[in-house]
Structure 1
Amino acid sequence: MSADVLESGRLVTVFGGSGFIGRHVVGALARDGWRIRVACRRPDLAFHLQPLGKVGQIFPIQANLRNKASIAAAVKGADAVVNLVGILAEGGKQSFSALHAEGAKAVAEAAEAAGAIHFVQISALGADAHSTSVYARTKAAGEAAVREAFPAAVIFRPSVVFGPEDDFFNRFATMARYFPVIPVVGEGTRFQPVYVGDVARAVALAVDGRAAAGATYELGGPEVKSFRELVQYVLEVTERDRRILPMSFLAGKKVALITKIAGALSFGLFPKLLSMTPDQVELLRHDNVVSAQAKSTGMTLEGLGLAPTAIEAIVPSYLYRYRKTGQYQAQRLA
Structure 2
Amino acid sequence: MASFPTAVRSSPRLAFNIIQARRISDLTITRTGKPILRVQGGRSVIAMILLCHTATVFGATGQLGRYIVNRLARQGCSVVIPYREEMAKRHLKVAGDLGRVSFIEYDLRNTESIEASVRHSDVVYNLIGRNYPTKNFTLEDVHVEGTERIVEAVAKYDVDRYIHVSSYNADPNSPSDFFATKGRGEQVARSIFPETTIVRPAPIFGFEDRLLIRLAGITNIFTSNNMEERYWPVHSIDLGQALETMLYDDTTAGQTYELYGPTNYSTAEISQMVENEIHKKRRHINLPKAILRPAAKLLNQVLWWPVLSAEDVDKEFIDQTIDKKAKTFADLDITPGEISNFTYHYLQGFRSSATYDLPPATEKEKREDRKTLSSHALAALQEFYGERDAHADKFEKLKTAAEKQHDDAAATAGAPTQPLSMDAFTEDWNESQFWYSDETATLLATQLLDGVGEDETIAVVSAPSVFVALKNLLNTPSDTSAPVPKPKPKQVYLLEHDQRFAVFPEFVFYDFQQPTKLPAQLKGAVDRIICDPPFLSEDCQTKAALTVRWLSRATKTATPRLIVCTGERMASLITKLYRFFGLRTTTYEPRHARGLSNEFYCYANYERDGLWQFRDDGGS
Moved over 6 A (4+): none
- How far residue 206 of structure 1 moved from its aligned partner, in angstroms, is 1.6
Instruction: Provide the secondary structure at the position in 2 that maps to 1:71.
Output: helix
Partner of residue 193, structure 1 = 233
Residue-pair matches, total: 316
1:35 partner letter: S
Q: Give the alignment partner of residue 119 of structure 2, picking from 60, 66, 76.
A: 76
Counterpart CA distance in 2 for 1:279 and 1:191 is: 16
Which moves more between the two structures, 48-57 or 209-218? 209-218
Is the aligned partner of 1:316 residue 2:344?
yes
Is the aligned partner of 1:158 residue 2:186?
no
- Give the RMSD, CA atoms, in angstroms: 2.3
- Tell whether the 8 Å contact from 1:13 to 1:39 is kept in structure 2 after alignment: yes
- How far residue 260 of structure 1 moved from its aligned partner, in angstroms, is 3.0
Instruction: Provide the secondary structure at the position in 2 that maps to 1:38.
Output: strand
Counterpart CA distance in 1 for 2:282 and 2:298 is: 28
Which moves more between the two structures, 181-190 or 71-80? 181-190
- How far residue 211 of structure 1 moved from its aligned partner, in angstroms, is 4.6
Partner of residue 284, structure 1 = 316
User: Superposition pairs for residues 147-186 of structure 1, below 5 Å?
Assistant: 147-175=190-218, 183=223, 185-186=225-226
- How far residue 43 of structure 1 moved from its aligned partner, in angstroms, is 4.2
- Tell whether the 8 Å contact from 1:85 to 1:100 is kept in structure 2 after alignment: yes
Q: Quickly say closer, same or farther: Cα 1:182–1:117, change in 2 above 3 A.
A: same
- How far residue 45 of structure 1 moved from its aligned partner, in angstroms, is 3.0
Q: Quickly say closer, same or farther: Cα 1:245–1:110, change in 2 above 3 A.
A: same
Q: Give the alignment partner of residue 252 of structure 1, picking from 286, 289, 311.
A: 289
Counterpart CA distance in 1 for 2:300 and 2:158 is: 44
- Tell whether the 8 Å contact from 2:205 to 2:235 is kept in structure 1 after alignment: yes
Is the aligned partner of 1:213 residue 2:253?
yes
- How far residue 105 of structure 1 moved from its aligned partner, in angstroms, is 1.2
Q: Say which structure, 1 or 2, has more relative contact order (CA 8 Å, 6+ apart).
A: 1
- Tell whether the 8 Å contact from 2:279 to 2:351 is kept in structure 1 after alignment: yes
Q: Quickly say closer, same or farther: Cα 1:45–1:261, change in 2 above 3 A.
A: closer
Is the aligned partner of 1:114 residue 2:142?
no
- Tell whether the 8 Å contact from 1:43 to 1:60 is kept in structure 2 after alignment: no
Partner of residue 87, structure 1 = 130
Counterpart CA distance in 2 for 1:27 and 1:215 is: 24
Instruction: Provide the secondary structure at the position in 1 that maps to 2:125.
Output: strand
Could you list the per-position Cα deviations for residues 271-319 of structure 1 after superposition, in whole angstroms to 9, with x for gaps in the alignment?
Answer: 74xx32333222222212434443xxxx001111111011123232121
- Tell whether the 8 Å contact from 2:59 to 2:83 is kept in structure 1 after alignment: yes
Q: Give the alignment partner of residue 303 of structure 2, picking from 253, 260, 268.
A: 268
- Tell whether the 8 Å contact from 1:124 to 1:157 is kept in structure 2 after alignment: yes
Instruction: Provide the secondary structure at the position in 1 that maps to 2:94.
Output: helix
- Tell whether the 8 Å contact from 2:278 to 2:351 is kept in structure 1 after alignment: yes
TM superposition score normalised by structure 2: 0.48
Could you list the per-position Cα deviations for residues 77-127 of structure 1 after superposition, in whole angstroms to 9, with x for gaps in the alignment?
Answer: 111101000000111122111110011111111011111101000000111
Could you list the per-position Cα deviations for residues 12-67 of structure 1 after superposition, in whole angstroms to 9, with x for gaps in the alignment?
Answer: 11111111111111112112221000012124531211211101101111112211
Partner of residue 334, structure 2 = 306
Q: Which runs of 5+ in 1 are unaligned?
A: none
Counterpart CA distance in 1 for 2:198 and 2:328 is: 11
Q: Which runs of 5+ in 2 are unaligned?
A: 1-25, 27-37, 43-49, 360-620
Q: Quickly say closer, same or farther: Cα 1:92–1:61, change in 2 above 3 A.
A: same
1:284 partner letter: E
Larger helix proportion, structure 1 or 2? 1
Q: Give the alignment partner of residue 235 of structure 1, picking from 275, 288, 299.
A: 275
- How far residue 191 of structure 1 moved from its aligned partner, in angstroms, is 1.1
Partner of residue 3, structure 1 = 39
Q: Quickly say closer, same or farther: Cα 1:184–1:320, change in 2 above 3 A.
A: farther
- Tell whether the 8 Å contact from 2:216 to 2:282 is kept in structure 1 after alignment: no
- Tell whether the 8 Å contact from 2:67 to 2:240 is kept in structure 1 after alignment: yes
Partner of residue 73, structure 2 = 30
Could you list the per-position Cα deviations for residues 182-241 of structure 1 after superposition, in whole angstroms to 9, with x for gaps in the alignment?
Answer: 646353211111111111111111222355221110010111101211111111111113
Counterpart CA distance in 2 for 1:326 and 1:121 is: 45
Counterpart CA distance in 2 for 1:94 and 1:223 is: 35
Counterpart CA distance in 1 for 2:258 and 2:98 is: 35
Q: Quickly say closer, same or farther: Cα 1:25–1:289, change in 2 above 3 A.
A: farther
Counterpart CA distance in 1 for 2:280 and 2:247 is: 42
Q: Quickly say closer, same or farther: Cα 1:209–1:292, change in 2 above 3 A.
A: closer
